[in-house]
Structure 1
Amino acid sequence: MELLNIECLGKRLRLEGSIAGWQQLYWDNQLVSQKSASATDQAFHIHSFELTRQTSIATETENTSANVSVTPLPVRLEIDVNWQPFQLDYCLLIDDESITQGQRTVKDIERQTPEIAVVKNQKISVVGLASLGFKLLKSAKVVKVLFAGASVAAYSWLFSFQFALALIGCLVFHEYGHIRAMKHFGMKTKGIYLIPFVGGLALSDERINTRWQDVYISIMGPTFGLILSIICVGLYWITGNVFFAGLAAFNALLNLFNLLPILPLDGGHILKSISFSMNSLIGLIACILGAAIGVFISYSLGLALLGFLLLIGSVEIIFEWRGRHQSHLLPLDRYGQIFSTIWYLLTVAGLVGIIWYFAGSGDEMLAIPLQILGS
Structure 2
Amino acid sequence: MELLNIDCLGKKLRLEGSMAGWQQLFWNNQLVSQVAASPNGDAQIEHTFTLAAKRADPMIQPPEQAIPAETIPVRLVSKVQWQPFILEYQLWQGDKLISEGERSTQDIERQVPEVAPAKQQKFSLIGLASLGFKLLKSAKVVKALLAGASVAAYSWLFSIEFALALIACLVFHEYGHIRAMKYFGMKTKGIYLIPFMGGLALSDERINTRWQDVVISIMGPTFGLFMSLLCLIAYWITGHIFFAGLASFNALLNLFNLLPILPLDGGHILKSISFSMNSMVGLIVCVVAAAFGVWLSYSLGLALLGFLLLIGSLEIVLEWKTRHQSHLLPLDRYGQIFSAVWYFATVGALVSIIWYFAGSGDDMLSLPLEILRS
TMscore range, shorter length: 0.7 to 0.9
Whether the aligned pair in 2 keeps the contact of 1:287 and 1:314 (CA below 8 Å) is no
Partner residue in 1 for 2:198 = 199
Partner residue in 1 for 2:99 = 100
Give me the whole-angstrom Cα distance separating, in 2, the residues matched to 1:322 and 1:252. Answer: 35
Partner residue in 2 for 1:305 = 303
In the TM superposition, what are the counterparts of 1:199-278 in structure 2 within 5 Å? 199-278=198-277
**Post-superposition offset of 1:36:** 3.5
Whether the aligned pair in 1 keeps the contact of 2:218 and 2:343 (CA below 8 Å) is yes
1:20 equivalent in alignment to 2:20: yes
Query: What amino acid is the match of 1:106?
Result: T
**In terms of mean alpha carbon deviation, does 332-341 or 49-58 score higher?**
49-58
What SS is found at the alignment partner of 1:329? coil
| Cα gap change, 1:80 to 1:118, in 2 (>3 Å) | farther
**In terms of mean alpha carbon deviation, does 264-273 or 94-103 score higher?**
264-273
**Post-superposition offset of 1:137:** 3.2
**Post-superposition offset of 1:314:** 5.9
Partner residue in 1 for 2:32 = 32
| Cα gap change, 1:161 to 1:57, in 2 (>3 Å) | closer
In the TM superposition, what are the counterparts of 1:1-375 in structure 2 within 5 Å? 1-36=1-36, 43-55=43-55, 68-116=67-115, 137-279=136-278, 281-297=280-296, 299-300=298-299, 302-305=300-303, 308-309=306-307, 312=310, 315-316=313-314, 318-319=316-317, 320-321=319-320, 323-375=322-374
| Cα gap change, 1:241 to 1:34, in 2 (>3 Å) | same
Whether the aligned pair in 1 keeps the contact of 2:262 and 2:309 (CA below 8 Å) is no
What SS is found at the alignment partner of 1:84? coil
| Cα gap change, 1:5 to 1:362, in 2 (>3 Å) | same
Whether the aligned pair in 1 keeps the contact of 2:263 and 2:312 (CA below 8 Å) is no
| Cα gap change, 1:117 to 1:155, in 2 (>3 Å) | farther
Give me the whole-angstrom Cα distance separating, in 2, the residues matched to 1:365 and 1:133. Answer: 46
Query: What amino acid is the match of 1:201?
Result: L
Partner residue in 2 for 1:122 = none
| Cα gap change, 1:343 to 1:40, in 2 (>3 Å) | closer
Give me the whole-angstrom Cα distance separating, in 2, the residues matched to 1:210 and 1:42. Answer: 21
Query: What amino acid is the match of 2:261?
Result: I
**Post-superposition offset of 1:310:** 6.6
Give me the whole-angstrom Cα distance separating, in 2, the residues matched to 1:354 and 1:373. Answer: 13
Number of residue equivalences:
359
Whether the aligned pair in 1 keeps the contact of 2:90 and 2:99 (CA below 8 Å) is yes
Unpaired runs of 5+ in structure 2? 119-129
| Cα gap change, 1:133 to 1:366, in 2 (>3 Å) | farther
What SS is found at the alignment partner of 2:368? helix
Whether the aligned pair in 1 keeps the contact of 2:234 and 2:243 (CA below 8 Å) is yes
Give me the whole-angstrom Cα distance separating, in 2, the residues matched to 1:314 and 1:264. Answer: 5
Give me the whole-angstrom Cα distance separating, in 1, the residues matched to 2:252 and 2:218. Answer: 15
Give me the whole-angstrom Cα distance separating, in 1, the residues matched to 2:56 and 2:354. Answer: 81
Partner residue in 2 for 1:125 = none
| Cα gap change, 1:39 to 1:185, in 2 (>3 Å) | closer
**Post-superposition offset of 1:318:** 5.0
Whether the aligned pair in 1 keeps the contact of 2:41 and 2:81 (CA below 8 Å) is no
Give me the whole-angstrom Cα distance separating, in 2, the residues matched to 1:353 and 1:298. Answer: 24
| Cα gap change, 1:161 to 1:318, in 2 (>3 Å) | closer
Whether the aligned pair in 1 keeps the contact of 2:40 and 2:81 (CA below 8 Å) is no
| Cα gap change, 1:118 to 1:183, in 2 (>3 Å) | farther
Whether the aligned pair in 2 keeps the contact of 1:287 and 1:317 (CA below 8 Å) is no
| Cα gap change, 1:132 to 1:339, in 2 (>3 Å) | farther
**Post-superposition offset of 1:98:** 0.7
Give me the whole-angstrom Cα distance separating, in 1, the residues matched to 2:279 and 2:150. Answer: 44
Give me the whole-angstrom Cα distance separating, in 2, the residues matched to 1:54 and 1:73. Answer: 10
Partner residue in 1 for 2:121 = none
**In terms of mean alpha carbon deviation, does 259-268 or 327-336 score higher?**
259-268
**Post-superposition offset of 1:352:** 1.4
Give me the whole-angstrom Cα distance separating, in 1, the residues matched to 2:195 and 2:117. Answer: 31
**Post-superposition offset of 1:180:** 0.7
What SS is found at the alignment partner of 2:25? strand
**Post-superposition offset of 1:228:** 0.6
What SS is found at the alignment partner of 1:138? helix
Give me the whole-angstrom Cα distance separating, in 2, the residues matched to 1:308 and 1:86. Answer: 38
**Post-superposition offset of 1:53:** 4.0
